[in-house]
Structure 1
Amino acid sequence: MKMFLTILFTFALLSSSSHALQQDFCVADLSLSDTPSGYPCKKPSTVTVDDFVFSGLGVAGNTSNLIKAAVNLAFVAQFPGFNGLGLSMGRLDLAVDGVIPLHTHPEGSEVIIVIEGTISAGFISASTNAVYFKTLNKGDIMVFPQGLLHFQFNLGKIPALAFVSLSNANPGIQITSSALFANDLPTEVVAKVTFLDIAEVKKLKGILGGTN
């Protein structure tokens, strides 16, 4: 019986691997709900070359905002052809003094390449709180491991441009300042868990759109 179960398990693994190889791609059907393994596939008969082309990263984003920066994403929701392939991309435009605030991608690691300007970037180790921080110039790349807090800001005197690639078609994103101050959690609670005074919390909630 034990031998039979071992053979059955091995056959199941081989069958699943063989099945995966039979499918060249799985363009996301965005009309259906996302699943833990990605979006369901569009019918092959409805797939066109346009499903594998995305032009949204060729246009500079609007940096006239609070953070003086813009992020154009090519995650699966914007680029269905990425579905199931384990990668996504984005474009970062940073005006002078522009900043991409502390944030995480729970489901993917990130690599950045600087195209123009000078960008300071870093991440914080979850296990030791050590900070890995570097000034990046044109052509430099840096990697940010999955799930770790990281940031980028323009250190130079001209606008900066960078592109990022991530190891998941839908890596997720949570911006720390928004999570803390753009919510309806009572000000007193936020002050208690952040060790900030109530006046500062109210100020930050006012800037970022939080209530209570």
Structure 2
Amino acid sequence: MKVSHSLISIISLVLVIPFSNAYDPSPLQDFCVAVGNLNNVFVNGKFCKDPKQAKAEDFFYSGLNKAGSTNNNVKSNVTTVNVDQIPGLNTMGISLVRIDYAPYGQNPPHTHPRATEILVLVEGTLYVGFVSSNQDNNRLFAKILHPGDVFVFPIGMIHFQVNIGKTPAVAFAGLSSQNAGVITIANTVFGSKPPIYPEVLAQAFQLDVNVVKDLEAKFASKN
């Protein structure tokens, strides 16, 4: 049976038009599992107070002038200012971080599942970069930054920053989400609870299974 071109066009329009005018809300947390009742309900984001009850303190945070402690394994510290610190950021789609780096410290490879990041270096010298997706052949985009330089990390891309100088470094970054989330690659892969089967990771990373077990033991004790 032949189907006319006009009928195909009409069917295509019927199927496409509703989807072109509709979209799902962006996730504001790792997941939001549907429930069948209203007990212990969470929302995708935060509940809003009556706007008439809002006050200046809802839009204020103090403390980004203070350096965070870099006395840790990666020699860096991220001070986050998101909706948990400033309630007025709810629904605004933006947040901020301060990142302190000890000499040769790093913000190790990680990704923000819900935000693009724009970083400006204030002090020190950083080597920064991100890796594109498999579809783009995992290209590395990297630069050495000096004070006043700006670099952008696209949403979802694995990225990093390393202090390559002999003095501390400080950067500030804006993120396009009230709760950008962060997935540190090594912690997530080798420090999951419960751990991923070592044989799975050994094949994925082309490592000896005993090396994987050692890494999982190290990251399990850190997380």
Is the TM-score greater than 0.5?
yes
Identify unmatched segments of 5+ residues in structure 2. 1-20, 22-40
1:208 aligns with 2:219: yes
2:139 to 105, 130, 141: 130
Secondary structure of the corresponding residue to residue 97 of structure 1: coil
Separation in 1 of the partners of 2:68 and 2:87? 21
Q: Which amino acid aligns with 1:137?
A: H
Q: Kindly tell me: are residues 178 and 109 of structure 1, through their superposed partners in 2, closer, same or farther at Cα, counting changes over 3 Å?
A: same
Aligned match of 1:95: 102
Q: Deviations over 1:142-193 (max 9, x none)?
A: 0011111100010101000000001111111111111111122122222122
Deviation at 1:84, TM superposition (A): 1.1
Which one has the largest radius of gyration? 2
What is the CA–CA distance in structure 2 between the aligned matches of 1:193 and 1:56, rounded to whole Å?
42
TM-score by length of 2: 0.75
Q: What is the identity, as a one-letter code, of the residue corresponding to 1:186? A: Y
Shift of the alpha carbon at 1:201?
1.4
4+ long deviations beyond 3 Å: none
User: Distance in 2 between the 1:84 and 1:73 partners?
Assistant: 17
- Structure 1, 175-184 or 113-122: larger mean CA deviation: 175-184
Q: Secondary structure at the match of 1:50?
A: helix
> Alpha carbons of 1:168 and 1:209: their partners in 2 closer, same or farther (altered >3 Å)?
same
- The alignment covers a number of residue pairs equal to 179
* Aligned residue runs from structure 1 range 158-197, under 5 A: 158-183=167-192, 184-197=195-208
Partner of 1:143: 152
Cα distance in 2, alignment partners of residues 88 and 195 from structure 1: 38
Residue 57 of structure 2 is aligned with which of 30, 50, 56?
50
Counterpart CA distance in 1 for 2:90 and 2:64 is 18
SS of aligned partner of 1:91:
strand
Contact 1:56–1:74 under 8 Å retained in 2: no
TM-score (norm 1): 0.79
Give 1:210 deviation, angstroms.
Answer: 6.2
The one-letter amino acid paired with 2:199 is E
AA at the equivalent of 2:168: P
* Range with bigger deviation, 60-69 or 182-191: 182-191
**RMSD (CA atoms):** 1.8
CA distance in 1, matches of 2:157, 2:74: 21
Change (3 A) 1:208 1:56: farther
